[in-house]
Chain A
Amino acid sequence: MARTRIVLAGEGGQGVQSIAKILVEAGYEAGKEILYIPNFGVEQRGGVSIAFCQVADEKIGEPRFSKGDIVIMLSDRAIDRCSAYVNENSTVIYDSSVCSTKPTCKAKEIIAVEANKIANEQLSARVFNIIVLGVLLSATNVLKLDDIKNAMEMALGKKFDAKPELRELNYKALEMGMNMIQKAGV
């Protein structure tokens, strides 16, 4: 059974849940089985924000899983919190322009990206999370770019219509993210 388990973790405010929602919405529209649990605590803002997403071809059993196939860590605290979801079959992706250290957990592969740096230097800090979404799209390789674009349209369509240049900016961010790593083919 093809099932991809994704852990997406960052600081509250980095937009982790926003891109998780776009990802799972895209998966749902593409006819995949989806299960998404936003990790929520007592704080409305701040703290580590984690999204547990599963994309599968068949009905999903367990809602929470022990180890992720793809684990994305976007801050030092996210590395601390989420190393527990990593084993030798996991691909870990972390943002080396945010995190001060490299994750030390034992994984199949640990990939560094600089989404934050590129967002700030080349695009806009606002699309940091969309770059990460692009990274995730390449890394998982289970969803099509068009699916994601449609889901982005559902989530952000009104903002795009008000400011068309935002659409271009977001597409650019998505593309740059996708190109940051080779298709991992997990």
Chain B
Amino acid sequence: MVQTLDVTPDIAKAQNPEAGASKFCPGCGHGMILKTLAHTIDDLNLQEKAVFGCDIGCSLLSWNYMNVDTVQTHHGRTTPVIYGVTRANPGTIGIAYMGDGGGLAIGSQHLVNAAVRGENMLIVLANNTNYGMTGGQMAPTTMPGQKTETTPYGRDCEVTGKPAKGAEMVASIVDSNKAYVARATVSNLRKLRQTFTKALKNVEKGGFSFVEVLSICPLNWRTNNEGTWDRLKTMEEFFEVKEFVQREGLE
């Protein structure tokens, strides 16, 4: 006899119940980030005001994850689409969701300029140190020595430079009176929820928020659970997990 667990899944109101089974690979970090974000949207009662945009790359698969109005854009172009929305319709809580490639490579000019202009939006950048959807190539954030499809012998920083530190870069160019910049990790989802709360509150106040979330990619990393966790811990040593910029009055 088959027994089923009689537990209702923990689905946030801002999470689309009709999206069906997760489209992400088993063990992927995206689901954890998105679910936490959806709960935070619920916490702050922002579902009606929120507009969610997702990039190409694995983040694309979130196109129907949220139960808020959503637009899927092009490679690296979620930031301009979302600030296009919030400029045209102030009061919108614009959220641009992207990976490390979308934020720090193909769409980096948008990240830099949105931060400098203080666009009223939240940018969530999932950093899993590789390009997942296209098959695991080197990303700007790929760790020194990390093997990817385009660094099959490990990333040589002499040749390709050192890993990009998105949060530090953004922190150095924002107006600290109107910004919130933090790096969080999927190893601590409670902390991530607090981070998203502050980030969204700052957007409600008209500011620019940037949250880089250290995430995992067991499939392309070719790691088991233990290896994945170890890798994430290594990342947390390299990419400092903390709040870099926090305007006054955010809780």
Task: Establish whether A and B are touching in the complex (CB under 8 Å).
Answer: no
Residues of A within 8 A of B (CB): none
Residues of B within 8 A of A (CB): none
